[in-house]
Amino acid sequence: MSEGTADGGGAERLLELAQWAVECLQGSADYVQVYAESTVEVRVECLDGDVLATCVEPREGLGCMVRKDDRWRHRAFSVTELGSLPSWLGTAPQDGPDGIGVRWPEREDVDFTPVAARDWLVQDARTPHSLRTTEDFTARTVAVADTEGVRAASVSRLVRRRLEATVTTDGGHYRGLNRWLERGPTAGRGAGSDATLPREVAREALGHARDSALAALRGNRRTPVVFGPTAAVGFLHELVGHALEGDNFAMRSDYIAALRKPGAVPAVLSLYDDATLADGYGSYAIDDEGNTGRTTVLVANGEIGSPLTSVRAAQRHGYTPTANGRRRDYRELPLPRASNTVVRPGSEDPAALLEAGSEGVLHVGCLGAGMINLATGEFSFAALNCSYITPDGHRVPVRDVSIFGDALDVLGRIEAIGSDFGGDSITCGKQGQMIGIGLFSPSMRYSALDWSAA
């Protein structure tokens, strides 16, 4: 990874502040963990070649989590509240950060160059359309210290760009979506960026919107379904990945209990969580509890592996630590969350996966919003950028697709994994915290799924 453990500057000062807070609190708790953060987020929204809005949000403070007598407590302290930290748990007041010669580090300049609003426009488009873009830039410095010897810091920088193209035809509005992620020390600085890339991203989104406008297929169907790269693992992230988050895994619901039984997941499937990928939206050198990012086997040859854990989940349930404690910011508790969900390429020709029998085949380009009930395994998800391949081989665009069913039944219908591979970036919510997740996978074919097109 281009980002790594920091050893000086602002990160080192944050680490000293985190250690100071641990020393203040450790006499009043069995375990103390302190998370120090200095982050700047910038969002730039454009519409049809004009800047619509710009928002800059700095976040600075300490998140303190303690365990005493098997009870967990959490409190966030902004920079202006640090003086009250030593007395939080009823300990005697101590000198504040200035008393130990450590000041809150000054923020560096944002140094972010967004794509010029007009550089998104598709100059030669023949279809009337609208383009709305969002750039989310994050420059983040964090440090973690605890009473078990954790002492780590990291600096990261990334920008995620999303584009929505809308085509209006006969009073209807039809959308096409596309995304683009950049991370590393030069992310968002403009240096070395391909000036043609924004238009290419926009052109692809516009193509999806045109297809959606042409869609005419409607009704409910059960056919083979092929999920394209990233859509395939996005589906599995929802059906299996969330069930293997330590706090969810410990619920022992009917669905999770059944998922743990031998044979519930086909032997053809192996699924991983990998925080070490160079270009993953969820990659990190350390998680938000100071533990080094790693690869965790979720499913190997159909066998369920280790649940993903935060410190609390590992201690509460006796699970193996996996360095998956993640949080939106210092004001939130760390939760067991995925980093990048990965299915490695198989051996099947991706084109062969799309061969249509008497029922045809649905091809899914992108998975949208939806939900799974982790108590029962019932799910429903929107699917975007879809097409239906008819029995005679014709490609027909479809829109407003919903895929639904029972997760255990559906997992048993995996029949082929392609040799292609792709990556994508999504945001995923849990207990009110939205974080970035990377998706990496080949195409995958299911023998029969229920779906509808509106």
Q: How many Å apart are CA 422 and CA 372, to the nearest integer? A: 24
DSSP symbols for 139-166: EEEEEEEETTS-EEEEEEEEEEEEEEEE
Pairing of strands 361-372, 219-227: parallel
**Beta-strand (E) ranges in 147-276?**
151-169, 172-183, 219-227, 271-274
Nearest Cα neighbor of 444 from 425, 426, 421 is 421
Token pair of 326 as six digits: 């993640």
Say what the pLDDT of residue 7 is. Answer: 41
Count of CB atoms within 10 A of residue 206's CB? 23
Q: How many CA atoms lie within 13 A of 322 on its CB side?
A: 28
**Helix, strand or coil for residue 210?**
helix
Q: DSSP character for 91?
A: P
Structural domains of the chain, with CATH:
9-212 (3.30.2290.10), 219-453 (no CATH)
Per the CB < 8 A criterion, the answer to whether 287 and 274 are in contact is no
Say what the pLDDT of residue 169 is. Answer: 86
pLDDT (tens, 9 = 90+) of the chain, 454 residues, equals: 335 444 447 899 999 999 999 999 999 999 999 999 999 999 999 999 999 999 999 999 999 999 999 899 999 999 999 989 998 987 655 555 555 556 788 877 778 999 999 999 998 888 889 999 999 999 999 999 999 999 999 999 999 999 999 999 888 899 999 999 999 888 888 744 566 889 999 999 999 999 999 888 889 999 999 999 989 999 999 999 999 999 999 988 999 999 989 889 999 999 999 999 999 999 999 999 999 999 999 999 889 998 999 999 999 999 999 999 999 999 999 999 999 999 999 999 999 999 988 899 999 999 888 899 999 999 999 998 999 999 998 999 999 999 999 999 999 999 999 999 999 999 999 999 999 999 999 999 999 999 999 8
Token pair of 270 as six digits: 């192996």
Say what the pLDDT of residue 9 is. Answer: 72
Residues in the chain, overall count: 454
Q: Is the dihedral of CA 208, 190, 288, 96 positive or negative?
A: negative
Q: How many CA atoms lie within 13 A of 374 on its CB side?
A: 17
Q: What is the pLDDT of residues 336-357, one digit of tens each?
A: 999 999 999 999 999 999 998 8
Q: How many Å apart are CA 319 and CA 306, to the nearest integer? A: 8
Say what the pLDDT of residue 101 is. Answer: 54
**Helix, strand or coil for residue 316?**
helix
Q: How many Å apart are CA 12 and CA 336, to the nearest integer? A: 26
Say what the pLDDT of residue 258 is. Answer: 93
Q: Residue 451: beta bridge partners? A: 221, 403
